[in-house]
Copies of this chain bind each other. A is one copy, B any other.
Amino acid sequence: MQRIPILKMGPFLLVTIQVDLHDRLVMALQDDLTNMVGKTGARGVLLDISSLDIVDSFIGRMLGGIAAVTRLMDAQTVVVGMQPAVAITMVELGLDLPGVITALNVEKGMDMLRSRLRLLPETAHDTRAEV
């Protein structure tokens, strides 16, 4: 079965969603993410949805579910890269992303996570990872 790759970047995990999401893929992603959070001790998860042309209620629930699961494991999830048209459509449809934090792009999402978690800048983490 196809899996969505999870990249470790310092204290964060990065997931770029490029394919159409269906139930089993989302379940697999949630499994993989919780495993990775447990294994790496990651403090934050960045979900990039810049290639999604639509965010419907299913995807919204899925994003909220991932955020809730990682929160229980002490990792904050930030959804980044939403296309302007997607945001407009969501508001028009009356959809919301309850419990989900969003940021404009990956860089801003990382900055947000760093300040929320009061983490040191990435260099300090790199150094510690090397030791």
Instruction: Tell me the bound Cα distance from A106 to B19 in angstroms.
Output: 21
Residues in B with CB closer than 8 Å to A121 are 121-123, 126
Residues in B with CB closer than 8 Å to A110 are 9
Residues in B with CB closer than 8 Å to A51 are 2-5
Number of copies: 2
Q: Which of B3, B16, B50, B126 contacts A111 (CB 8 A)?
A: B126
Interface residues of chain A, those whose CB is within 8 Å of chain B, are 2-5, 7-10, 14, 16, 18-19, 48, 50-51, 81, 105-107, 110-111, 121-123, 126, 129
Residues in B with CB closer than 8 Å to A2 are 51
Q: Which of B5, B48, B122, B126 contacts A48 (CB 8 A)?
A: B5
Q: Which of B4, B81, B123 contacts A18 (CB 8 A)?
A: B4
Is the beta-carbon distance between A5 and B129 smaller than 8 angstroms? Answer: no
Instruction: Tell me the bound Cα distance from A18 to B15 in angstroms.
Output: 11
Residues A105 and B7 in contact in the complex (CB < 8 Å), given A111-B126, A121-B126: yes
Instruction: Tell me the bound Cα distance from A4 to B50 in angstroms.
Output: 10
